[in-house]
Amino acid sequence: MGRALPLPNHPDVYDKIIGTFELLDQTTSIKKVLADIFIHGYSPHFRSTRQLSTMTDSRFTGPGIFWISSNTNDEAVFPYDDFASWYEDVHIPDVIHADPSQPLPMARRYQAVSATEAPTATPGANPFLVVYKLPTLAFVASAAFRGIPLHHETLPEGGPIARFASFRGRFARHIGSWAGGGSATGALLLSEVLALGEGEQDQPPGDATSPSWYHNAYMPHVAALSGWQRSTRFAVVMENEIGGDKAPPPPGVGPPSTLPKGRPSRWLTLHEFDEAKTDVDDVTSELKTSLMGMLSVDVDFIEVLPYRLVRTYGDEAVAFADGNEAGLWREREGLREVGMAR
């Protein structure tokens, strides 16, 4: 085990930092690493960038997504329209083309359906959502990811962005998909998240398949809802929340994580619907009610948030996950189940 590396001038900001470690046993540290990278473009948890490139945790392999919601901290300092313009025109292309030789195949930008439009929407939820398709979660550990710019002339004081906006990110590994008819891109997205309850705390995040009730009972019910097109299920490998404070952090120090204490999110499912055939309020309420009625284990929370598609980057026909990624196709009661990992 390497020596501890305190952060100069701010030793109280971080826990004890170890230069070399196995990620499977240091979940908290890897969360800090990703927050640092997102804010600064580097992490003080490592002596060299070479160490970061050697992350071998099996959870960070295989296809998945980067789900990230956000909002500006203070309209008077950084108006939302300016934030959205920077995000759409500068940041998303920067992420997609972080590695010019292997650009990400697709990203979709969504806007939250407001509580005014749909009473079941969550007031105060981050309105800006981007979902990036990742051919491999190893992208998280790449030099390309670390090099994504966080400063720009269109940001207040030139940035970094985490001083003026708050973000909640989830890295998630693909475990299964269900496809109906029609386009692969649904204009209405229901983002569904389940957090672990006490009964499953011993199971590592991102290392399990969906419980049987989910694909045997719940998904056929979802697929029967009006306007349903596709659902893609993921196991959350990691989540973090940064920013949110109007007061800027000390120079060189990013805001600490503000995630609630307790178990992280476990499951993330993206349900796509044809908005012209869907009542957003009804379907949001139905998903929540159905989950509560079918749950076979305790969970800390259920989150079902409706979003409307604003823009697709890349091929619009590209889905969040490819059907052959898990190498298994099934036909069951007319519902095509694609790539379900067992």
Domains of the chain, with CATH numbers? Answer: 1-56 (no CATH), 63-338 (3.30.70.100)
Choose among 178, 170, 174: nearest CA to 195: 170
Alpha helices, DSSP H, located in 164-265: 212-213, 219-223
Average the pLDDT over 182-197 and give the result.
78
Residues contacting residue 156 through CB under 8 Å, at least 6 positions apart: 77, 78, 163, 164
Spatial distance between the Cα atoms of 42 and 197, rounded to a whole number of angstroms = 34
Confidence of residue 79 (pLDDT cuts 50, 70, 90): very high
Confidence of residue 342 (pLDDT cuts 50, 70, 90): very low
Task: Give pLDDT, residue 300.
Answer: 66
Q: Looking at the predicted structure, is the pLDDT value of residue 239 above 90?
A: no
Name the β-bridge partners of 66.
Answer: 132, 171
H-helix or E-strand spanning residue 147 = none
Task: Give pLDDT, residue 1.
Answer: 35
Task: Give pLDDT, residue 140.
Answer: 86
Q: Looking at the predicted structure, is the pLDDT value of residue 25 above 80?
A: no
Q: Looking at the predicted structure, is the pLDDT value of residue 136 above 80?
A: yes
Name the β-bridge partners of 281.
Answer: none
Q: Which of 161-175, 197-211, 235-249 has the highest mean pLDDT?
A: 161-175
Task: Give pLDDT, residue 159.
Answer: 92
298 neighbors 197 (Cβ within 8 angstroms): yes
Q: Looking at the predicted structure, is the pLDDT value of residue 251 above 50?
A: no
Task: Give pLDDT, residue 58.
Answer: 65
Counting every residue, how long is the chain?
Answer: 342
Q: What is the pTM of this model?
A: 0.76
Confidence of residue 155 (pLDDT cuts 50, 70, 90): very high
